[in-house]
Structure 1
Amino acid sequence: MTDSTRRAVIFSAGGVGLAAVLSACSGDDSTAASEQAPADGQAAAGGREIAKTSDIPVGGGKVFKDQDVVVTQPEAGTFKAFSATCTHKSCPVGSVADNEIVCPCHGSRFSAKDGSVTKPPASKPLAEKKITVSGDSITLA
């Protein structure tokens, strides 16, 4: 095989590889497999029951690390949900007690009612997440 033939083969193979990478990265309007609803019929990005109302104590809450959400019940029958990631240094919040969401990393505290900072060092509130309550079921929307 001559040098020019060898170069042509390598160049062609590189072009084919580049075309494959670019086509894999390009988008289209069809839904990707990772965005499709699971077989059980529930929405992939939410719509799953995460708790029963009886799991969330009044004045407290529960952290769901897998969903990055903390659900609180600041008053009887009122349920709220917030990001479970502290806005100070992105640590996961650890617990909810006395209507405060507590970050164990640096001691930040947030209101269980609205996610606002009640004790620094965090300076930004926790992002609110949408939930729905139907009967005794709490669903992440």
Structure 2
Amino acid sequence: MSSDDVSTMPTRRHVIGAAGVAACGAVLTGCGSGEPAPAIVPPGIKGKVIAQTADIPVGGGKVITKWKIVITQPTSGVFKAFTASCPHRGCAVGRVGDGVIRCPCHGSEFAADSGKCLKGPAEAPLAEFALRVDGDGIVMV
């Protein structure tokens, strides 16, 4: 082999570096899609009452910090559950009122009836969890 042949051969470091760049690109492509991640119910609460209907005001909601879930009641008798982690930077959403879930970190806002992003910088909606009302209790399914 001549010295010219050696200089054009990729080194192990180049091959590993190129593979790393390709993997990061694939991951970042998924992050920027704006699609909601599948909602995974936090361990230990499936089938359990996590809130009382009387504690969730109509047009508002309540953040259940223990499980990082926000429960809303967009209209009388309709309850929704979403992740309380803002998809922008993972901050916990704070206030729920007038049909809007607000993130205090960067000002993102989400619809209390669907989790849809209404105002950025977040681009993705809040992931929704399935729930049911059992008497006066709100139960995660």
Distance 1:94 1:135 in 2: 27
CA apart distance, 1:139: 1.0
Distance 1:49 1:120 in 2: 32
Taking only aligned residues, the RMSD between alpha carbons, in angstroms, comes to 1.2
Alignment of 1:1-141 (within 5 A): 44-141=44-141
Q: Greater CA radius of gyration, 1 or 2?
A: 1
CA apart distance, 1:46: 1.6
CA apart distance, 1:44: 2.8
Letter of the structure 2 residue corresponding to residue 103 of structure 1: C
Q: SS of the counterpart of 1:47?
A: coil
Distance 2:52 2:88 in 1: 30
Distance 1:112 1:44 in 2: 25
Structure 1, gaps ≥5 residues long: 1-42
Structure 2, gaps ≥5 residues long: 1-42
How many pairs align? 99
> Does the C-alpha gap of structure 1 residues 118 and 60 become closer, same or farther in structure 2, counting only changes over 3 Å?
same
Identity of aligned residues (%): 52
Counterpart of 1:6 in structure 2 is none
Higher relative contact order (CA 8 A, sep 6+): 2
After superposition, give the CA deviation of every residue in 1:83-129 in whole Å (9 maximum; x if it has no partner).
00000001011110111001000000000000001111100000001
Q: SS of the counterpart of 2:66?
A: helix
Distance 1:135 1:92 in 2: 29
CA apart distance, 1:47: 1.5
Distance 2:67 2:46 in 1: 9
TM-score, normalisation: structure 1 = 0.67
